[in-house]
């Protein structure tokens, strides 16, 4: 079998089109323009690229974008004061603090300062709990993106055996909740799992989020499985010239594609879905803050 390559870039583009439609409807019917505030502390180049892309795409779907760039040596108290100000700002429906933060700032304290009603990353304990028990609210962006791609590929996920490799708070754990809610039988494996290859071989659905380049081999994949590769790892690429690098996922894509039914590429798979789902969450929070039901097509 040669796998279908799942085009996350195209899917994200179409999702952003639907989001723009919801922005237009919120403005027309309710006079609400959703607003997303993004805070970046310091000058980490990768974070700067992410934040610029977030701000650009926020504006492109018709939302208000508020970017706050703070120096790396800012005091924690000052950052917390800005978050309190944004919590109180009626024009702001979503707040995102780009991680990682400088070492002198406690990320847990920062996350807990965000009003859960505006927590579009779904990082606050209140929202993590809501996802677990199925209450409406924002859903972790990357897992939501993976879920949308899986539903698009498979229709119903009911009864499927899903193996998640990776147990992070950012991806593995929320992914487990979402797949359980869709009636999968879920196994969460990780780098210390015994005979990981045999565990992955059981899976109709593999979500690879372990952060190790090409760790999941082609012959670990069950024939006909759907493989979602969350990994983004930069590795040396001497074939491209001295000092050059390239991006690879957590799966050996070429080998897995010979066996799977469908697989996400890296780049161009899950990556583009994450920002689109951040915008989807901003529609969800803007709706809930204003006492409106969030749109069904933008959430889990
Ligand atoms: N840094 C890398 N990914 C993310 C993300 O999804 N949210 C935030 N806030 N920071 C990040």
What are the pLDDT digits (tens) for 176-215? 999 999 999 999 999 899 999 999 999 999 999 999 999 9
pLDDT (0 to 100) of residue 173: 98
Distance from residue 225's CA to the centre of ligand 1 (Å): 29
Report if residue 87 sits inside a domain: yes
Q: Are residues 109 and 146 in the same domain?
A: no
Q: Domain end: 103, 118, 133, which one?
A: 118
Query: Is the minimum distance from the CB of 141 to ligand 1 under 6 angstroms?
Result: yes
Whether residues 94 and 210 share a domain: the answer is no
23, part of any domain: no
Helix axes 271-289, 45-60, angle to 10 degrees: 50
On whether both 151 and 266 belong to a single domain, the answer is yes
Domain containing residue 225? 141-272
Same domain for 48 and 166, yes or no, is: no
Q: Is residue 57 part of a domain?
A: yes
Residues 164, 66, single domain; the answer is: no
Q: Do both 102 and 201 map to the same domain?
A: no
Query: Does 159 share its domain with 100?
Result: no
Residues 236/215, Cβ–Cβ less than 8 Å: no
Q: What is the pLDDT of residue 180?
A: 98
pLDDT value of residue 182: 98
In this structure, the residue with its CA closest to atom 3 of ligand 1 is 99
pLDDT of residue 191: 87
pLDDT tens digits for 256-288?
Answer: 999 999 999 999 999 999 999 999 999 999 999
Q: Which residues neighbour 242 within 8 Å (Cβ) at sequence distance 6 or greater?
A: none
211 in a structural domain: yes
Give the model's pLDDT for residue 19: 98
Looking at the fold, whether 189 and 245 belong to one and the same domain comes out as yes
Instruction: Read off the pTM.
Output: 0.97
* Domains of the chain: total: 2
199-223: b (≥16 Cβ within 10 Å) or e: bbbebbbbbbbbbebbbbebebbbe
Please write down the long-range contacts of 174-179, taking CB distance under 8 Å and 24 or more positions apart: 174/122, 174/128, 174/131, 174/139, 174/140, 174/143, 175/140, 175/143, 175/146, 175/147, 175/207, 175/209, 177/131, 177/132, 178/131, 178/139, 178/143, 178/144, 178/146, 178/147, 178/300, 179/147, 179/205, 179/207
Give the integer Cα–Cα distance in Å for 125 and 134: 14
Same domain, 94 and 207: no
Distance CA 293, CA 113 (A): 25
**Smallest CA separation from ligand 1 atom 8, residue:** 98
Give the total residue count for the chain.
300
Residue 173 and residue 95 in one domain:
no
The string of pLDDT tens digits covering residues 78-114 is 999 999 999 999 999 999 999 999 999 999 999 999 9
Secondary structure of 111-147 in HEC code, one letter for each residue: HHHCCHHHECCCCCHHHHHHHHHCCCCCCCHHHHHHH
Residues 179 and 264 in one domain: yes
Task: Calculate mean pLDDT across residues 220-234.
Answer: 98
Q: Is the CB of 111 under 6 A from ligand 1?
A: no
pLDDT band at 253 (very low <50, low <70, confident <90, very high): very high
| Tokens coding 6 | 């799942």
Together in a domain, 58 and 181: no
Distance 98 CA to ligand 1 centre (A): 5
Residue 99 burial (CB count, 10 A): 16
Confidence of residue 7 (pLDDT cuts 50, 70, 90): very high
Does residue 299 lie within any of the structural domains? no
258 CA to middle of ligand 1, Å?
A: 32
Pocket test for ligand 1, best of 111, 170, 230 (most atoms within 8 A of CB): 170
Which residues, 6 or more positions from 26, have their beta carbon under 8 angstroms from its beta carbon? 32, 33, 34, 283, 286, 287, 292
Pocket test for ligand 1, best of 51, 102, 121 (most atoms within 8 A of CB): 121
Residue 51 located in a structural domain:
yes
Q: What is the CATH number of the domain that holds 175?
A: 3.40.50.720
Which residues are the active-site residues? 54, 98, 121
What is the average pLDDT score of the chain? 97
In a domain? residue 41: yes
Written as six digits, the tokens of 163 are: 């193996």
Domain presence at residue 123: no
Distance (Å) from CA 114 to ligand 1 centroid: 14
Ligand 1 binding pocket includes 96 (Cβ within 6 Å): yes
Q: CB-based burial of residue 80 (10 Å sphere; 0-12 exposed, 13-18 middle, 19+ buried)?
A: middle
Tell me, what CATH number does 45's domain have?
Answer: 3.40.50.10860
């Amino acid at each position: 079998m040669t796998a279908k390559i799942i085009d996350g870039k195209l899917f994200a583009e179409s999702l952003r089109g639907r989001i723009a439609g919801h922005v237009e409807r919120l403005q027309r019917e309710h006079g609400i323009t959703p607003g997303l505030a993004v805070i970046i502390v310091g000058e980490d180049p990768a974070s700067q690229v992410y934040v610029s892309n977030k701000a650009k795409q926020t504006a492109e779907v018709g939302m208000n974008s508020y970017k706050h760039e703070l120096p790396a040596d800012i005091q924690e108290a000052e950052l917390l004061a800005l978050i309190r100000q944004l919590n109180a700002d009626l024009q702001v429906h979503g707040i995102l603090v780009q991680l990682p933060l400088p070492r002198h700032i406690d990320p847990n304290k920062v996350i807990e300062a965000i009003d859960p009603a505006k927590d579009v990353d779904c990082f606050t304990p209140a929202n993590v709990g809501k996802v677990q028990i199925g209450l409406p609210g924002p859903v972790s962006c990357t897992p939501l993106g993976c879920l949308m791609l899986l539903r698009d590929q498979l229709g119903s996920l009911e009864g499927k055996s899903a193996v998640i490799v990776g147990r992070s708070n950012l991806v593995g754990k929320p992914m487990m909740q979402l797949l359980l809610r869709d009636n999968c039988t879920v196994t969460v494996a990780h780098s210390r799992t015994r005979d990981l290859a045999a565990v992955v071989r059981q899976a109709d659905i593999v979500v690879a989020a372990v952060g190790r380049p090409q760790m999941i081999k082609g012959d670990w994949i069950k024939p006909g499985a759907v493989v979602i590769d969350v990994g983004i790892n930069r590795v040396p690429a001497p074939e491209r010239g001295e000092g050059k690098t390239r991006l690879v996922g957590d799966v050996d894509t070429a080998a897995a594609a010979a066996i799977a039914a469908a697989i996400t590429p890296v780049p161009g798979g899950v990556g583009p879905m994450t920002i689109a789902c951040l915008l989807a969450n901003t529609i969800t929070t803007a709706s809930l803050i204003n006492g409106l039901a969030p749109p069904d097509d933008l959430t889990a």
